Amino acid sequence: MALKLSDYKTDFHNDWCPGCGDFGIVNAIQMALAEMNIPRDKAAIFSGIGCSGKTSHFINVYGIHTLHGRVLTFAQGAKIANPDNTIIAVGGDGDGLGIGVGHFVAAGRRDVDLTYIIFDNGVYGLTKGQASPTLKLGEQTKSLPKPNTNYDVNPIGLAVASGFTFVARGYSYDVRHLKDLIKAAIQHKGLAFLDVLQPCPTYNDINTRDWYAGEDLEKEAQERHSRIYKLEEKRYDPVVHYSEEAELNEKLSQALIKSLEWGASIPIGIFYKNEIISRYAERLMDKIPNYLENPPAKQRISKDGKPITNVSKLLDSLQV
C-alpha cells in the first residue's frame, strides 16, 4: 500500500522556535520517504544532541536519539547489522564537525551505505548560541561576547577529503530541492553527506533568511532573489564517470574548489558523486562471504533460552 506524507508525521510536541530552518528539513525528509514509499519498519533515523537532535522524534519511522557527536557510530552499526534497512543520520554542525569530527572522517573512509544530514546553522543552538565550527572567522553572532577567533571548517571540502562518495548541499527554505537531494542521497549506494544551510533565527543574526535572500547585496544577487544558486543549473557535472585516476582527480578538485565559493554566491546541489568504487559491504564479504545473506541482525542470538552469540568470533573474522 502506498504511504502518504502524513504517515511519516508524529504528534510528538515540537518546541523549536518559530521560523527555525529545522522545520523545512524535517518536511523534506518526510516528503522524500513518502515519495520513495519506504516502509516505516524498514527505515531508521538516528540523531545526535542539539535542537537538530530532536528530529528523530518527529518522523514516524524507527527513531534513535543518540549521544553528542556519536550519531555516525550508531547509524553505521545499524546498517552493518541489517543492510536491508534505510538509515538516515542527522545532527548539528557542532555535533558532527566539533565533538564528532573524528567519527565524520572515519565514516568517510568506510563509506557505509547511509545518508548523513548536518543541520548547519553556524551556532550551538540548543546551548544558547555559542560559535559552532562552521561560523566564519571574525563573525559575532548575538550570543558571542567577542568576534569568533577561529577559522571555519568547510563541511563539503572535509567530506570530499574524507572519502564520502556523495557530497551535496541544500537550503532548508528550498524544501522541494532539498527533498530531491535527500532522495538522491538515499538512492546512492554508499555514504552520502548533505550539508543543509539552516537559518537559526534565535541565535544566528548574521546568516539569516534575509541574508541568504541577498537583501544586503547590490543588483545582481537581488535580481536573482538569492545568494543561493543551483549547481545543476550551471551545467556542473559532479559524477565520476569512469575509473581512471585523471577523472577521479578532476572531479575531486572540482568539488573542493567549488566548496570554497561563499559570499555573494553560494552553490547548492550535488558537488561530488562516485558510484564506481568498491562498497563497504563488498569489502566485508571478502572476509565474511555470506555476510549479505546472513548479516548479524538475522542471526539467532539464543536457543532453548540460552545465548548462542559469540562476539569474539565475529570480531576475529573482521580482524578488529
The strand pairing partners of 272, in sequence order, are 167
Q: Rounded to the nearest whole angstrom, what is the least distance from the CB of residue 18 to ligand SF4 in the complex? A: 8
Using rule CB under 6 A, residue 207 touches ligand SF4:
no
Using rule CB under 6 A, residue 132 touches ligand TPP:
yes
CA distances for 150 relative to 80, 96, 123, 156, 162, angstroms:
36, 17, 13, 18, 21
The piece of 10-18, 88-96, 224-232, 240-248 that touches ligand TPP (CB under 6 A) is 88-96
With CB under 6 A as the contact rule, the residue among 125, 170, 190, 214 that binds ligand TPP is: 125
Query: What does the block give as the cell for 226?
Result: 538569492
Residues 6+ apart with CB under 8 A from 270: 166, 167, 168, 181, 184, 231, 232, 238
257-286 binders of ligand TPP (CB under 6 A): none
How many residues in the shown chain lie near ligand SF4 by CB under 6 A?
A: 11
- Please name which of 86, 100, 92, 261 lies closest in space to residue 172, comparing C-alpha atoms: 92
Nearer to Mg ion, 80 or 118 (CB): 118
CA 278 – CA 292 distance, rounded (Å):
15
In this structure, is the dihedral angle defined by the CA atoms of residues 167, 168, 172 and 176, taken in order, positive or negative?
negative
DSSP 6: G
Residues 6+ apart with CB under 8 A from 86: 33, 38, 42, 43, 44, 186
Q: Rounded to the nearest whole angstrom, what is the least distance from the CB of residue 120 to ligand SF4 in the complex? A: 11
Site string for ligand TPP, 18-57 (x = CB under 6 A): -------------------------------xxxx-----
Residues 6+ apart with CB under 8 A from 29: 8, 45, 55, 59, 88, 90, 117, 182
The piece of 2-10, 13-21, 91-99, 177-185 that touches ligand TPP (CB under 6 A) is 91-99
Site string for ligand TPP, 93-112 (x = CB under 6 A): xxx-----------------
Using rule CB under 6 A, residue 76 touches ligand TPP:
no
The phi-psi region of residue 130 (left if phi > 0; otherwise alpha if psi is between -120 and 50; otherwise beta) is beta
The H-or-E segment that residue 292 falls in is none
Using rule CB under 6 A, residue 125 touches ligand SF4:
yes
With CB under 6 A as the contact rule, the residue among 8, 22, 71, 104 that binds ligand SF4 is: 22
Q: Is 115 within 8 Å of 192 (Cβ atoms)?
A: yes
With CB under 6 A as the contact rule, the residue among 121, 141, 154, 172 that binds ligand TPP is: 121
Q: Rounded to the nearest whole angstrom, what is the least distance from the CB of residue 121 to Mg ion in the complex? A: 4
SS3 at position 123:
strand
50-109 binders of ligand SF4 (CB under 6 A): 51
Using rule CB under 6 A, residue 5 touches ligand SF4:
no
Q: What residues line the site for ligand SF4 (CB under 6 A)?
A: 16-17, 20, 22, 51, 121, 125, 200-203
- Residues in contact with ligand TPP by the rule CB under 6 A: 49-52, 68, 91-95, 119, 121, 123-127, 132
